[in-house]
A and B are shown apart, each in its own frame.
Chain A
Amino acid sequence: MCIAVPGEVIELFPPEGRVKIMGVETTVNIQLIDDLKAGEHVLIHAGCAIEKINQNYYNDLLDIFKSMVDGNEKEDG
Chain B
Amino acid sequence: MRRKMDKDLLTHLINEVNSMVTEEIKIMEVCGTHTQMIAKLGLRSLLSSKIKLLSGPGCPVCVTEEKYIDWAIEILNRYHVTVATFGDLMRVGGGKGSLLEEKGKGKDVRIIYSSLDIIEMAEKNRGKQVVFLGVGFETTAPIIALAMKTAFERGIDNLYFLTSLKLMPPILHYILKEANNGIHGFICPGHVATIKGADYFKFINREYHTPAAVCGFEAIDIVAGIYYLVKQITQGKKNAFQNLYKRCVKPQGNPTANLLMEEVFNIVDGEWRGIGNIANSSLGINEKYTRFDARNAFVVEDQQVKIRTSCECKDILLGRKTPKECKLFKKRCNPLTPQGPCMVSTEGACTIAYRFGEEV
Interface residues of A (CB under 8 A from B): 1-4, 28-29, 31-34, 43, 45-48, 50-54, 56-58, 60-62, 64-65, 68-69, 73, 75-77
Q: With A50-B191, A77-B239 as known contacts, state yes or no: A1 contacts B260, CB within 8 Å.
A: no
Interface residues of B (CB under 8 A from A): 2, 9, 13, 16, 31-33, 58-61, 86, 88, 113-117, 135-137, 139-140, 142-143, 146, 189, 191-192, 194-195, 198, 202, 205-206, 217, 220-221, 224, 227-228, 231, 239-244, 246-249, 254, 256-257, 260, 345, 347
**Distance in Å: Cβ of A16 to nearest Cβ of chain B:** 9
Question: Is the CB–CB distance between A47 and B58 below 8 Å?
Answer: no
Interface centre among A2, A46, A54 (most CB of B within 10 A): A2
Question: Is the CB–CB distance between A1 and B205 below 8 Å?
Answer: no
* CB-contact partner of A68 in B139, B206, B231, under 8 A: B231
What residues of chain A lie closer than 8 Å to B227, measured between beta carbons? 65, 68
User: In the complex, which residue of chain B has the Cβ closest to the Cβ of A3?
Assistant: B33
Question: Is the CB–CB distance between B345 and A1 below 8 Å?
Answer: yes
Task: Taking A61-B220, A69-B16 as given, write out 12 further A-B residue pairs in contact, using a Cβ cutoff of 8 Å, ordered by the A residue number.
Answer: A2-B192, A43-B194, A45-B143, A46-B86, A46-B116, A46-B143, A47-B117, A50-B194, A50-B257, A51-B194, A65-B227, A76-B202
Listed by A's residue number, 8 A-B pairs whose Cβ atoms lie within 8 Å are A1-B88, A2-B189, A3-B347, A32-B254, A46-B116, A46-B140, A46-B143, A51-B248
Interface centre among B60, B114, B206 (most CB of A within 10 A): B114
Q: With A2-B31, A51-B194, A51-B248 as known contacts, state yes or no: A31 contacts B146, CB within 8 Å.
A: yes
**Distance in Å: Cβ of A6 to nearest Cβ of chain B:** 9
**Distance in Å: Cβ of B208 to nearest Cβ of chain A:** 12
What residues of chain B lie closer than 8 Å to A64, measured between beta carbons? 224, 228, 242, 244
Question: Is the CB–CB distance between A57 and B243 below 8 Å?
Answer: no
CA separation between A48 and B88, bound complex, in Å? Answer: 18
**Distance in Å: Cβ of B236 to nearest Cβ of chain A:** 14
Question: Is the CB–CB distance between B248 and A1 below 8 Å?
Answer: no
User: In the complex, which residue of chain A has the Cβ closest to the Cβ of B135?
Assistant: A1
What residues of chain B lie closer than 8 Å to A32, measured between beta carbons? 142-143, 146, 254, 256-257, 260
What residues of chain A lie closer than 8 Å to B228, measured between beta carbons? 64, 68
User: In the complex, which residue of chain A has the Cβ closest to the Cβ of B228?
Assistant: A68
What residues of chain B lie closer than 8 Å to A57, measured between beta carbons? 247
Question: Is the CB–CB distance between A29 and B146 below 8 Å?
Answer: yes
What residues of chain A lie closer than 8 Å to B31, measured between beta carbons? 2
User: In the complex, which residue of chain A has the Cβ closest to the Cβ of B12?
Assistant: A69
What residues of chain A lie closer than 8 Å to B60, measured between beta carbons? 1-2
CA separation between A3 and B2, bound complex, in Å? Answer: 23
Question: Is the CB–CB distance between A45 and B146 below 8 Å?
Answer: no
**Distance in Å: Cβ of A40 to nearest Cβ of chain B:** 12
What residues of chain B lie closer than 8 Å to A43, measured between beta carbons? 191, 194, 248
Question: Is the CB–CB distance between B246 and A45 below 8 Å?
Answer: no
Question: Is the CB–CB distance between B191 and A2 below 8 Å?
Answer: yes
**Distance in Å: Cβ of A15 to nearest Cβ of chain B:** 8
* CB-contact partner of B116 in A47, A62, A68, under 8 A: A47
CA separation between A46 and B194, bound complex, in Å? Answer: 14
What residues of chain B lie closer than 8 Å to A2, measured between beta carbons? 31-33, 58, 60, 136-137, 139-140, 189, 191-192, 347
User: In the complex, which residue of chain B has the Cβ closest to the Cβ of A60?
Assistant: B246
Question: Is the CB–CB distance between B347 and A1 below 8 Å?
Answer: yes
What residues of chain B lie closer than 8 Å to A4, measured between beta carbons? 139, 191, 194, 217
CA separation between A65 and B213, bound complex, in Å? Answer: 13
User: In the complex, which residue of chain A has the Cβ closest to the Cβ of B89?
Assistant: A1
Question: Is the CB–CB distance between A48 and B114 below 8 Å?
Answer: yes
CA separation between A1 and B189, bound complex, in Å? Answer: 13
CA separation between A77 and B186, bound complex, in Å? Answer: 14
Question: Is the CB–CB distance between A53 and B247 below 8 Å?
Answer: yes
**Distance in Å: Cβ of B4 to nearest Cβ of chain A:** 13
Question: Is the CB–CB distance between A45 and B242 below 8 Å?
Answer: no
CA separation between A64 and B32, bound complex, in Å? Answer: 25
